[in-house]
A and B are shown apart, each in its own frame.
Chain A
Amino acid sequence: MRPQTLAEKILSRHAGRPVWAGELCVVEVDHVMVVDSIAPSVLEVLQDLRAEPRYPDRVSFVIDHAAPAVNESVAAAQRQARTYAREHGCLLFEVGRGICHQVLIEEGIVQPGKLILGSDSHSTTYGAVGAFGTGMGATDIALAAAAGRTWLKVPASLKVVLRGELGPGVGAKDLALEMIGRLGADGATYMSIEIDAGDRFSRGERMTLANLCVEAGAKAGLVLPGGEVARDYAVPEWLRPDPGAQYRATLEIDLAELSPRMSVPHQVDQVREVAGLRGRKVDQVFLGSCTNGRLEDLHAAAQVLRGRRVNPGTRLLVIPASSLVLEAAAEDGTLLTLLQAGAVLGTPGCGPCMGRHQGVLAPGEVCVSTSNRNFLGRMGSAEAEIYLASPAVAAACAVAGQIALPEDLEAVHG
């Protein structure tokens, strides 16, 4: 049989026959995730089809995009999702449980080799544990819930090969931004990005990498199971690319050459070295999102903030990605460190990531965010600016009140 990429392998399993890039196929879907804001459209299509979810326990509703409800129409949409989930026996993750992608992984719904569809473009995140995750629109999501299947074109794959090791102060977010910068916003359109990271990176760091793959237009972002993921998950034997599998392109990144990176306004693929951006005044820092709102991200920020104060001219918003992250941060003292430094805490969920609540930006304001999109107007005013960075850099910016690196603080405060 012709050798296969990881995406081809997973999709073959779900199609019930071997498939290769370019083929259209109908595939079994292991789980369908619906977020609060898309739920009304999904339910409308289900009604139009006069269909119910075929496997209700393989459908999740997550209330996370503006939770607790920010106004009446959001409240009504959330109630609709909640009622539907209860009446039909679907899974429901309530206000404060956390961001959809984080919750599905924490709950163990996402497993290596599975196929997961989400009504949210960052569903590529599931690739962190070797699952094929992809985002779709409301009609597709409704069809998949009704049928338990969907149609797909098997994507060509783009291989990312990593060499060397990261230096101090450089992390998965910097690598992810570098990757998007090199590929460009449509550099991987229709493709599956397959990242061979060896045994490097925790599950959380792998989530950061897989999450950002969609910013290069990718259909899926798969990190080959290794290290922590290979240890903590049951990885099926077949779940690895065959030698000789066909890749559309290969991107090589030398980790040793990386330095802290930022995406500058207003495109994710506009990636610069943080060092060259120093001094830009910062009004708000947002530490959170499905990209970087996990315990290890809070740790990285706390390490920079310990014994320091957030600059009086800057707000630091911390929104843990989930209730479990929040609990763990409360338990190990991280939360206290952040609060003592002057951070403001929000309900676990999406926070201000897409400008609906909890930290919307005014005209002229500058925000450094650990999230994944800096599009014009994404977090509020179209005259605001968003810079995307790692948690450590974001924390340094909060203390300095301007764009800065953690080592700049050492120089100032000894």
Chain B
Amino acid sequence: MARVWKFPDAINTDDILPGKYAPFMVGDDFHRYAFHHLRPEFAEQVRPGDILAGGRNWGLGSSREYAPQALKRLGVAAIVAVSFARIHYRNLLNLGLPALDEPEIAASLRDGDQVTLDLEAGTLQRGEEIFHFHPVPEFLREALKEGSILAYYRRYQKFPGEA
């Protein structure tokens, strides 16, 4: 079972990882400062496999990649949001952190919900309730099997689906 961490609309990259805790400021431990201002307990208490639920425009602001990297290092399994800021969305997928824009599911998730996520099946289960994700495009499924789009390219020197 994974825990849901619920966040409001318009979470920006400074909320996810404040600029002053960038790797070149604090060294390799930067992920310990994830959501440092917004939810100081987060980095301590989050468990690998947990899920973040967000509102509109998740990840707006700077294109800094160490923000999603911090979440990946903490073992976050997926982010479900009403919508994502575009550059951040790409950063998440390049790094292999599933970003699911699912307005209805995101809205109905509550902080502290206990859920089971099955990315392969495209489902999220909370008690008796089962939510279905829109199918993840083949392109991303292939990439995520290798870990990330970057990892896929490193291994095959091409993008998924290319001859």
**Cβ–Cβ contact B90 & A136, under 8 A:** yes
Interface residues of A (CB under 8 A from B): 24, 26, 41, 45, 48-50, 121, 135-140, 143, 146-147, 149, 151, 185-186, 189-190, 217, 219
Q: How far is the CB of B62 from chain A (nearest CB, A)?
A: 9
Sorted nearest first, the 8 A-B pairs with minimum C-beta distance are A137-B63, A139-B94, A186-B57, A24-B139, A26-B159, A137-B91, A24-B137, A137-B87
Q: How far is the CB of A55 from chain B (nearest CB, A)?
A: 15
Report B72-100 CB contacts with A as 1/0, cut-off 8 Å.
00000000000101110011001100000
Given contacts A24-B140, A26-B159, A121-B87, are A140 and B94 in contact (CB under 8 A)?
yes
Residues of A contacting B60 with CB < 8 Å? Answer: 185-186, 217
Beta-carbon nearest neighbor of B138 in chain A: A24
Residues of A contacting B140 with CB < 8 Å? Answer: 24
Q: Please pick, from A26, A50, A140, the residue contacting B90 in the complex, using a CB distance under 8 A.
A: A140
Residues of B contacting A135 with CB < 8 Å? Answer: 63, 87
Q: Which of B36-78 contact A (CB under 8 A)?
A: 56-57, 60, 63-65
Q: How far is the CB of A213 from chain B (nearest CB, A)?
A: 12
Bound form: Cα–Cα A143–B162 in Å: 15
Interface size class of B (residues with CB under 8 A): 20 to 34
Bound form: Cα–Cα A140–B89 in Å: 11
Residues of A contacting B153 with CB < 8 Å? Answer: 49, 143, 146-147
Q: Which of B105-160 contact A (CB under 8 A)?
A: 137, 139-140, 149-150, 153-154, 157-159
Residues of A contacting B158 with CB < 8 Å? Answer: 147
Beta-carbon nearest neighbor of B56 in chain A: A186
Bound form: Cα–Cα A394–B121 in Å: 57
Q: How far is the CB of B22 from chain A (nearest CB, A)?
A: 11
Interface centre among A143, A146, A219 (most CB of B within 10 A): A143
Residues of B contacting A186 with CB < 8 Å? Answer: 56-57, 60, 83, 85
Bound form: Cα–Cα A45–B57 in Å: 27
